[in-house]
């Protein structure tokens, strides 16, 4: 599914990732693998109530490498009055509230070189849109802009599914998800000890 935004004479689109089945993780192509580490933390850091309303639990102006995002490159749709965009996940920013070790220092094959970010759209304490994105590679000479080809809107449904993974408690949560969502979509490594030893393929 893709959401289209018309900005001036420019037509933007953002793919929507609604469930684990919609993720395509393929050795750094499509949704970056390290983004799932960041998403796992985020899904467990925020509050999601029975009405699928997401509530902030941290200061988006400072905690966890977060700060205001101006959307100057028109990556996303223009903001309605009273809303703000924030970006979360700068691993190198000097902050009081740190991201967990499995995000900051993941296994080498899952490192993201501090390129991955989560963008949230906020009004008051309520988050109504969540995106994963990443900066362009330095070889592309795009500065600090985000890459629209690696930007995806994440639904509350996907956040709930990601919450079911355990980062440190062995393979049982992954086996449960494999059985629930279809084992053809999951490849579990034999030495699993973190969330992203799970690689997801869309066949």
Residue 197 pLDDT class (50, 70, 90 cuts) = very low
Whole-number average pLDDT of the chain: 73
Closest CA to 31 of 43, 54, 15: 15
Structure tokens at 120: 């949230």
The count of other CB atoms within 10 Å of the CB of residue 122 is: 19
Contact at 8 Å (CB) between 113 and 38? no
pLDDT score of 104 more than 50: yes
Convert the pLDDT of each residue in 131-185 to its tens digit: 999 887 666 656 678 888 888 899 999 999 888 776 554 334 444 544 444 443 4
Beta strands in 83-140 (DSSP E): 84-88, 116-123, 126-134
Dihedral sign for Cα 200, 27, 35, 109, please: positive
Expressed as residue numbers, the domain containing 17 is 2-200
Query: In the block, which residue shows the tokens 């109530």?
Result: 49
Contact at 8 Å (CB) between 48 and 59? no
Q: How high is the pLDDT of residue 11?
A: 41
**How far, in Å, CA of 66 to CA of 30, rounded?**
24
Residues 6+ apart with CB under 8 A from 147: 133, 134, 135, 136
Q: How high is the pLDDT of residue 128?
A: 96
- According to DSSP, residue 53 is labeled -
Residue 8 pLDDT class (50, 70, 90 cuts) = very low
Q: How high is the pLDDT of residue 185?
A: 40
Tell me the Ramachandran region of residue 155: left when phi exceeds 0, alpha when psi lies from -120 to 50, beta otherwise: beta
Counting the structural domains of the chain, the total is: 1
Convert the pLDDT of each residue in 13-33 to its tens digit: 788 888 777 665 433 445 666
The pTM for the full model equals: 0.74
State how far the alpha carbon of 40 is from the alpha carbons of 57, 64, 88, 169, in Å: 15, 14, 13, 14
Q: How high is the pLDDT of residue 181?
A: 46
Closest CA to 90 of 109, 57, 68: 68
């Amino acid at each position: 599914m893709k959401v289209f935004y018309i900005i001036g004479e420019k037509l933007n689109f953002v793919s929507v990732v609604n469930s684990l089945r919609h993720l395509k993780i393929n050795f750094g192509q499509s949704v970056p693998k390290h983004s799932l580490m960041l998403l796992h933390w985020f899904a467990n850091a925020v509050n999601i109530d029975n009405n699928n309303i997401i509530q902030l639990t941290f200061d988006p102006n400072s905690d966890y490498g977060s700060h205001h995002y101006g959307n100057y490159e028109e990556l996303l749709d223009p903001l309605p009055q009273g809303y703000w965009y924030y970006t979360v996940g700068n691993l190198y920013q000097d902050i009081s509230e740190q991201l967990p070790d499995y995000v900051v220092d993941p296994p080498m094959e899952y490192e993201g070189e501090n390129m991955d970010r989560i963008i949230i759209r906020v009004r008051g304490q309520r988050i109504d849109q969540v995106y994963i994105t990443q900066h362009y590679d330095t070889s592309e000479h795009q500065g600090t802009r985000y890459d629209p080809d690696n930007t995806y809107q994440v639904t509350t449904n996907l956040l709930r599914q990601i919450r079911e993974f355990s980062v440190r408690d062995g393979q049982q949560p992954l086996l449960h998800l494999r059985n629930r969502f279809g084992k053809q979509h999951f490849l579990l490594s034999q030495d699993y000890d973190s969330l992203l030893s799970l690689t997801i393929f869309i066949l």
